[in-house]
Every structure is written in structure tokens, then in C-alpha cells.
Amino acid sequence: MRDFYTKHLTATNLEIERKFLLKGDAWRICAHHCERLRQGYLNNETYCSVRVRTTDDRAWLNIKGVTIGVQRQEFEYEIPLEDGHEMLNTLSKKPIIEKVRYFVEAGQHLWEIDEFEGDNQGLIVAEIELKHPEEEFEKPDWIGEEVTHDVRYYNTSLSQHPYKNWDKKDEDGS
């Protein structure tokens, strides 16, 4: 089985990622795998975010720079699953981010589509990781508005200001 969690980082541990909202549910027929994720944040993001993430059978510790945009530093380390659960339950800020991640291949790229649950239920976001910031990619018909530069859609922001608390002007960017 393909390891869907292999990060595509550059040699300098840079994550290059773009984030989009979706138009409709047509992507669902293309999704060939999904995992339930829980993640929580362990720090107060002054210089970086430190999070722990678990699936049904694996866990990771992840450190990301706070740079907003397409490119930022990222370091990720697999940790024992039991440690991941303990960190989420005892050390993470609440609410915990809960989501189902679907994987959809389009062209030469793998899209990760996060359907949020819990306090962020109703939000669905697609992400694509690239090898360099100007890399071209196929944009499927179900891809909508790009929100890469909108911090409200970052998981760190969603853990502090959940989607359920947004009002209409938040969604419009007003």
C-alpha cells in the first residue's frame, strides 16, 4: 500500500504547499483512500508551531515555521503511537483538530482533502504539495478559491478560532 504520509520536503526542509476551497462534492468519486486524523498544538506559535498528529496506527511530531504563504520550514518525525495519544490527551491545547483526510490523484500530483469534524465541521479544504513555488499543476474542476495566504484556514488558526465560531463576514474575508 502506498504511504500517503511521506512528506515531499526540499533538501532544506521546506514545505511548499497551496491550499484551496472546494466546489461541490465531485472530488469524492476520485478519492481512493482516507484516514481519520487527530492533531493538537503544543506551543504558542511565536516562531513556529509544534503539533502532534495521530491516525489509527501512526503518530508524528511536526514543527513548522510561522511564515504565511506557499513556502515554510517543516520538520516531521514519527513517534510511538501511545506517546502521540498521551500528548493529545494531556499536553495539547483544545480543541483538538479532527478531520478525515482523503487522497485524490490528479495529473502528476496527489491532492489531500481535509473534511473537518468536531468544532470545525462543515469546512473542507484541499492541499497540494509542490517541489517549488512556481511549479505548474493540473487544477481539477472541483478546486475553488485559493486560500493559501489566508491564515484563517491554517490548522493552527482553526484550533484557536474554530470554523463553528465564524460568522458570515469571517467566511467572506471581511
Residues known to be catalytic: 41
Reduced to 3 states, what is the DSSP secondary structure of residue 106? strand
Q: Say how many residues make up the chain.
A: 174
Residue from 129, 160, 138, 158 nearest 44 by CA: 160
Which helix (DSSP H) or strand (DSSP E) does residue 167 occupy? none
How many CB atoms sit inside 10 A of residue 153's CB?
18
Cβ–Cβ < 8 Å for 42, 51: yes
How many CB atoms sit inside 10 A of residue 59's CB?
22
Determine the Cα–Cα distance for residues 96 and 155; give it in Å rounded to an integer: 10
Cβ–Cβ < 8 Å for 29, 35: no
* φ, ψ at 137 (rounded to 5°): -150, 155
